[in-house]
Chains A and B, each alone.
Chain A
Amino acid sequence: MTKRNAILCVFAILTIFSYAREYGDSAIYQGINVKLDLGNTVYELARSKAKIQSYEVAVNVMLKRRFLPTLELGFATAQTSAAGGKHIGTGGFGRVGLDISTLKKAGTESLLLVGVRLGTAVQGYELQDVRIWDTYWQTNTLKSYPTSVKADVWGEVVAGLQVKIYKGFHMGWFFRFKAMFTRQTNDKPVPYYIPGYGYRQDTNFGFNYYIGYKF
């Protein structure tokens, strides 16, 4: 990104937030929430000893005190292994979707949310020391696949909470059920870990703990 583009981005974000502040209490629009995920980041750092690192931010807009169109962006890097080989990958991911506040009395401060997401990730990855089993002849051949790029797409159903802590600050969590839409094409090596999705399985679970600020 050039310096000129960076300045334009900053101006665009400031314009949106100033608009959010000015019109934040209308009947239709009740502000923008910016959230930083801490739960997933800390969990992955602790569990994998930083071999997997995942970072993400989320932005949503509250409309009509009940509907929250959401954009989530993140980045992950993974060095992980299974019985058949090692995966090294780095990539970004994004999710778009909608949350709905399910509390009977619609409000803007404490929310019980359910929603859906469509997620996609693009990553560069390589597979190393992939095992070729040959038990009778007792040959132990290892194969490496060079760096390639792959995109994956999945869907999510989410449920979570958002509660006000102090002034504009709030926190909350999301539980996610994920289903992979991209299928493994026959015999082509595919990434073992997918940024924003987790390990490659047909279905997966996720958890986020957010700290956020409402503009």
Chain B
Amino acid sequence: MRGVLQVAAILASILIIAYGVLITEDRADPRWLGMLVVVGGLWIIALWPRRGYQLARSARPLVHLALVLAVGFGLVTIQVLRAQLLDRDRILAKASDPAAGVVDLRRYIAERQIERGRILLSDGTVIARDGTDKRGIRYRVYEGPSSYLAGYYSPGLYGAAGIERAFDRELSGSSTSGWNAWLDGILHRTRRGNDVVLSVDPRLQELGQTMLGERAGAAVLLDADSGAVLAFVSSPTFDPNQLSVPLGAPTEDVERARAYLEMLQKDGRGPLLLRPIQGLYVPGSIFKTVTAAAALQSGIATPTSVYRDDGALAVDSRVIIEQNRPDPTRVSFTLQEAYGYSLNVVFAQVGLELGAQRLEEMARAVGFEERIPFDLPVAPSQIAQTPDFLTSRAGIAETAFGQGQLLVTPLQMALLTAAVVRDGTIPEPYLVREIRSPDGGLIWSRQPKEWRRAFSGETAAALRDLMVWSVEHGYARPARIDGVTVGGKTGTAEVGDRAPHAWFIGFAERAGKRVVVAVVVEHGGSGVQAALPIGRALLEAAVQGS
């Protein structure tokens, strides 16, 4: 009977402790403390000496005292084990939450024991590495004009961005596990993080950067077959070195870096923005590729379908004026010609014929309104800002030729172009090609993947013809490259009163190598003059360099 009671008390105390750990977050939660009082009582029951056990009268208080003290030590043990084993992750997570306002110095001290991995471009050019200052403190050094691709890493400012942030586990080596990592840990050896190798080719990257120059804008060049980003140009940009402050840096260094960061954040030109993925722009005529894809896919038009364009089109109360006709006397154009000459009136008619639903379906099929899978967060491209915009005919017409409420990222438009040359499939784009261990061993290598199918192979082939025609006979003629199959589309996107955004999307094929490009020059004027030369140069360098 007594034995049963003891076992029951022990079991009950275990159950109460388990339940308490599950429902309470903190060791001083009043509910938990209340449970501990109950547990203490149960233990006293469990440990109470048997009735038959003969105790001297004088010894009885001593036994009770021993019981109470033992139970007290037992409860202390539960509390300390809870802190060290069960609540450990909770406590550490709480401390690393910036909102808590706690500085867990131990974490940063541990980071000093880590030599952070490097970030390299595809040919081995180092853009970010760890250096040591004259006091022997490790800090992050960024090298070369493309170093902004790394983002920044600044323990002194408690912040990181870009690849430094997205691949922190690899760079800091905390993703490494196994025998050696464990051994390094207990022997307190300086741990070295892994190197992150980008797919960016510095030759193409610098070419794009130079050609864009001081102008704000972006260019993204992809290998269409693998989805590898070969150039990822953004302008204006920032100097990550000025943000890199180690822990324990003098206050004035920290203040200088903080002031620089605040200046960047306040700068209206957005130097912290990675424009190829975070810049959202009105696409203008390059969006006609999507409209054409929808028309071809749905079968309402072929490249040779004929449309009438007599210089203006009234849609409800809106009148669309045509300024792009090569010859003002001509009034009938095939779809192919309309694409090559970028005729708004024709595409307004195509759009109206398609209707909002089919147009929107195609936009979604190529990736609009979705997070594109990528190594860094990509802003979703948008079809319309207000939900009822596409219910009006004028809205559909404007959207069809690339104005309306469209907002797109350069990466999105490059992927669209990739679908054209890949028979309708979109690759999963990537910036990080591989992870290498400090001694150069390959830890992980990217396996190119298809993201999705945007449209059928026939549609892709027809679109490809449109784009090639546009370069050979249409307005994108300056993009021609001898000996290379080039297709492209220019765009000049109206943005209110200011100069329009200049766009170019295009592809080049040579000897089995297929590359695609999307270029935007903010307020750059005409697409042919501002954006096309950059795109052409990148395509040419990409196919000829190999």
A associates with B? no
